[in-house]
């Protein structure tokens, strides 16, 4: 494990002693808000600050009294998995008036609160900024009224504001993902997957309305995630005559043996004249023009409800801690900021810059500048729209470029949810680029046996939502079979290779690169997409399939913890998969609210185990009823799951009893999460475009064939912090621990102190990687675009 750099700043240098922080949720609720509240409270208490809940949003701030309560560590227990917001949220007209804000200021000063953490949408955050700007004037008025004394004005002279965006619509500019969006996508995809089975039975067309009065993100991403036939969003109204085009598309799909059609409509969908497009209008249109049996489903508030996804819990926990850091570091001259996510990194952005750009989007839509509105939404939105158009709408054969290149795609290693979405994307983008696509069954084992066949556009219809690997996948490496594989590549004239898989896929590409010296057949562009639940591939922060596995772990942990409700105190020992990589145990532990997570990368001994037991015993005596301990399957060969279970059972006698659970292969199964569907879809599309470019660059006209033997023609496409990067696999060798099949440095190890702090351990927290205040950039350069993740 990488040792801390001496230049790194640790959290001991920042203290919240003598400070009071208040947290409130305002506007519409969103899943994950409770995780954010929990993180703010526990991090605030950890640094020595007083922390207050403000119940019922700004209304509670105005009304004061029992609405503003001091928070304790125990008061946020068991809320991580709860949807909505347990401290309540309300729209408040009174806060919009000067008198209302005066009352609110008085209530805060009485309790010495000068640090506000506001979780809400752009309206809530704009209100907070106005309150901050008026603060000194409000205090002056309160002195004149005799409500506070002059000393209070001096003592509480500045109000500091940090915002977190909680909105299922993902309509706030400056952040890739807002709290609640991923969970809302989970609700939508669950419904769409269920509807598809009944639609297929009866050969029906379904028109689904999803939320998004001013923003089409949910509609667009859910359409991408389920392979919908048509999508309608407010930012990009369809061209005139869209009705006929849509009916032609639906009819063509049915003619191609597809038994169902799915049309997704954002509630704010409009045409080019700003006239609403309703679900009933679309239903009547389809029935009238095509005579298809058509039904409408309006999802409504189902999208706001339910338990938060693993992604939202982790996002909200990271942002909550970041918000406390930002409040501790702020000065009287620091502008109000929002903490948000860019790629895989925390950033801080000036609040009003984000709000102004968000308002510009609506203005552009009102003025029918739709292309500009899409760009203002950010590169993530633009990517989603481009990818959807590329995959959903097939060009006529006459319009396709003719490349005469053959590209093979295969899965290698263990199955991971999202592999099929990646294959579908590769096939359709490849066909759109004019290539002939070939599917290889059963990985390299199928390759040398000749299990290779051409795959067409329609062959991959409906693959996005399927779990596992429909092509079949094996762990067989190519080194022993290079002669036979080379022969098959000659026979099928394969000009490029796309390999989708985990550590075996990475090793395979290294072996094929080495084989170039003896077999010219491998002197072709080759690209690997990381797809493994273990997330143990060097060169990438995230892998296809890891999010689905995390959700499976978190959902099971929630159920296991709930099974102990109403019983005596109980601790659960849960074993996760991951080989020697502790990603699932650590990040799953953070999302499920674990008390400890044992992993190979952070060695532990009997003293650590004893300290953990004692810590848990102390907590059990004073507050919590249920404990959760995660253990990575290969964390230690001697301290097995059974050993840890027996140790906790013995040492916890009289305080708690123990249960153990090995999650096993249920972490590998199930339908892919929305994140994995979209991540797989979009990085696969990007990889195919890279392959097309390399094929043109490496085609030798004199020889009439492709010849690529440089390091940069054999790459892994991975997400690194904010960037999506094509990295030559040979250059990643030095970053790899081949014995334990893990990267030598792993970003998520920085989340471990965060998990410990939220579980009430005293530990050092490295703040060198925390967000710095930046400015909103209208369009980030392409090479810095990691927004492809969602």
Where does 493-605 have alpha helices with state H?
Answer: 503-515, 546-563, 583-592
User: Angle at the Cα of 701 (from 698 to 703), degrees rounded to 5?
Assistant: 95
Contact yes or no for 57/88 (Cβ under 8 A): yes
Task: Give 140's contacts (C-beta < 8 A, 6+ positions apart).
Answer: 153
HEC states along 185-232?
A: HHHHHHHHHHHHHHHHHHCCEEEEEECCCCCCHHHHHHHHHHCCCEEE
Contact yes or no for 289/329 (Cβ under 8 A): no
DSSP class of 190: H
From residue 354, give the alpha-carbon distance in Å to each of 49, 315, 348: 28, 19, 11
Counting every residue written for the chain, the total comes to 790
Contact yes or no for 176/345 (Cβ under 8 A): no
Contact yes or no for 560/287 (Cβ under 8 A): no
Element (H, E) at 498: strand 496-501
Q: Is 595 a catalytic residue?
A: no
Spatial separation of the C-alpha atoms in residues 168 and 159, rounded to whole Å: 28
Spatial separation of the C-alpha atoms in residues 91 and 97, rounded to whole Å: 13
Contact yes or no for 426/498 (Cβ under 8 A): yes
The SS3 of residue 539 is coil
Query: Residue 233's CB: how many other CB atoms inside 10 A?
Result: 29
Dihedral sign for Cα 61, 66, 71, 76, please.
negative
The CA-based dihedral angle spanning residues 613, 660, 37, 533, taken in that order and rounded to the nearest 10 degrees? 120
Tokens 């909200």, residue? 316
DSSP class of 438: E
Spatial separation of the C-alpha atoms in residues 119 and 122, rounded to whole Å: 10
From residue 466, give the alpha-carbon distance in Å to each of 214, 225, 276, 533: 31, 11, 34, 16
Please provide the distance, in angstroms rounded to a whole number, between the alpha carbons at the two ends of the chain: 29
Half-sphere exposure of 22 (CA within 13 A, CB side): 31
Spatial separation of the C-alpha atoms in residues 178 and 158, rounded to whole Å: 28
Spatial separation of the C-alpha atoms in residues 37 and 34, rounded to whole Å: 5
Tell me the two tokens of residue 328.
């501790």
From residue 272, give the alpha-carbon distance in Å to each of 11, 207, 359, 369, 380: 53, 20, 20, 10, 23
* Catalytic-labelled residue, pool 169, 442, 595, 785: 169
Contact yes or no for 390/429 (Cβ under 8 A): yes
DSSP class of 638: S
From residue 498, give the alpha-carbon distance in Å to each of 174, 507, 527, 734: 33, 14, 5, 23
* β-pairing verdict for 473-474 and 452-454: unpaired
Contact yes or no for 103/140 (Cβ under 8 A): no
DSSP class of 464: T
HEC states along 111-171?
A: CCCCEEEEEECHHHHHHHHHHHHHHHHHHHHHHHHCCCCHHHHHHCCCCEEEEEEECCCCC
Tokens 């879809």, residue? 681
Contact yes or no for 739/315 (Cβ under 8 A): no
Report which of 231, 229, 321 is spatially closest to residue 16, judged by C-alpha positions: 321
> Catalytic site residues?
169
């Amino acid at each position: 494990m990488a040792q801390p750099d001496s230049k790194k700043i640790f959290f001991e240098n920042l203290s919240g002693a003598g400070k009071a922080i208040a947290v409130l949720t305002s506007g519409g609720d969103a899943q994950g808000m409770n995780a954010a509240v929990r993180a703010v409270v526990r991090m605030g208490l950890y640094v020595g600050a007083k922390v207050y809940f403000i119940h019922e949003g700004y209304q509670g701030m105005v009304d004061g009294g029992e609405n503003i309560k001091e928070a304790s560590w125990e008061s946020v227990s068991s809320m991580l998995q709860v949807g909505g917001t347990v401290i309540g949220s309300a729209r408040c007209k009174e806060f919009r008036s000067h008198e209302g804000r005066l009352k609110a200021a008085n209530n805060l000063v009485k309790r010495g609160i000068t640090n506000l953490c506001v979780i809400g949408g752009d309206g809530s955050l704009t209100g907070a900024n106005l309150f901050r700007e008026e603060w000194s004037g409000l205090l002056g008025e309160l002195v004149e009224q005799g409500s506070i004394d002059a000393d209070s004005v001096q003592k509480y002279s500045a109000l500091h504001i940090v915002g977190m965006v909680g909105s299922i619509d993902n309509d706030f500019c400056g952040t890739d993902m807002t709290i609640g969006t991923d969970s809302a996508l989970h609700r939508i995809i669950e419904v769409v997957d269920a509807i598809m089975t009944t639609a297929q039975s009866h050969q029906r067309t379904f028109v689904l309305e999803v939320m998004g009065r001013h923003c089409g993100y949910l509609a667009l991403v859910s359409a991408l995630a389920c392979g919908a036939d048509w999508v309608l969003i407010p930012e990009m109204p369809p061209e005139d005559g869209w009705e006929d085009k849509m009916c032609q598309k639906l009819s063509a799909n049915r003619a191609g043996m597809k038994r169902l059609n799915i049309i997704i409509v954002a509630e704010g969908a409009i045409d080019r004249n700003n006239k609403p497009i309703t679900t009933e209008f679309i239903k009547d249109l389809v029935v009238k023009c095509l005579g298809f049996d058509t039904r409408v489903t309006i999802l409504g508030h189902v999208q706001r409800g339910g338990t938060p996804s693993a992604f939202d819990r982790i996002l909200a926990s990271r942002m909550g801690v970041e918000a406390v850091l930002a409040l501790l570091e702020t000065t009287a001259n620091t502008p109000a900021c929002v903490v948000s996510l860019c790629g895989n990194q925390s950033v801080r952005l000036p609040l009003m810059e984000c709000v102004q750009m968000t308002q510009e989007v609506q203005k552009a839509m009102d003025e029918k500048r739709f292309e500009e509105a899409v760009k203002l939404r950010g590169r993530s939105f633009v990517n989603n729209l481009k990818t959807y158009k590329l995959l959903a709408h097939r060009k006529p054969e006459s319009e396709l470029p003719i490349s005469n290149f053959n590209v093979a795609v295969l899965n290698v290693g263990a199955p991971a949810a999202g592999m099929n979405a990646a294959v579908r994307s590769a096939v359709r983008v490849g066909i759109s680029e004019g290539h002939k696509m070939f599917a290889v069954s059963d990985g390299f084992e199928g390759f040398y046996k000749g299990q290779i066949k051409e795959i067409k556009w329609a062959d991959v219809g409906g693959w996005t939502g399927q779990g596992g690997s429909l092509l079949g996948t094996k762990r067989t490496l190519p080194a022993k079979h290079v002669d036979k594989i080379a022969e098959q590549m000659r026979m099928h004239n394969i000009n490029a290779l796309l390999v989708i898989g985990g550590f075996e896929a990475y090793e395979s590409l290294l072996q094929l690169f080495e084989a170039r010296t003896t077999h010219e057949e491998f002197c072709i562009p080759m690209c690997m997409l990381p797809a493994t639940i273990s997330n143990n591939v060097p060169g990438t922060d995230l892998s296809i399939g890891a999010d689905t596995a995390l959700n499976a772990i978190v959902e099971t942990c929630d159920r296991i913890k709930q099974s102990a409700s109403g019983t005596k105190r109980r601790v659960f020992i849960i074993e996760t998969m991951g080989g020697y990589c502790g990603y699932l145990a650590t990040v799953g532990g953070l999302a499920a609210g674990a008390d400890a997570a044992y992993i190979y990368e952070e060695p532990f001994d009997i003293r650590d185990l004893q300290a953990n037991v004692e810590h848990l015993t102390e907590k059990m005596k004073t507050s919590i009823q249920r404990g959760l301990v995660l253990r990575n399957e290969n964390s230690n060969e001697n301290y097995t799951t059974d050993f840890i279970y027996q140790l906790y059972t013995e040492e916890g006698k009289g305080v708690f009893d123990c249960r153990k659970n090995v999650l096993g292969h249920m972490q590998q199964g199930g339908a892919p999460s929305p994140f994995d569907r979209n991540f797989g879809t979009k990085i696969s599309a990007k990889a195919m475009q890279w392959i097309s470019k390399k094929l043109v660059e490496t085609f030798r006209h004199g020889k009439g064939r492709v010849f690529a033997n440089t390091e940069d023609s054999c790459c892994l496409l991975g997400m690194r912090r904010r960037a999506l990067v094509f990295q030559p696999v040979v250059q990643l060798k030095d970053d790899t621990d081949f014995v334990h099949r893990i990267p030598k440095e792993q970003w998520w190890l920085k989340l471990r102190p965060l998990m410990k702090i939220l579980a009430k351990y005293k530990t050092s927290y490295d703040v060198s990687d925390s967000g710095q205040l930046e400015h909103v950039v209208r369009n980030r350069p392409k090479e810095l675009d990691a927004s492809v993740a969602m």
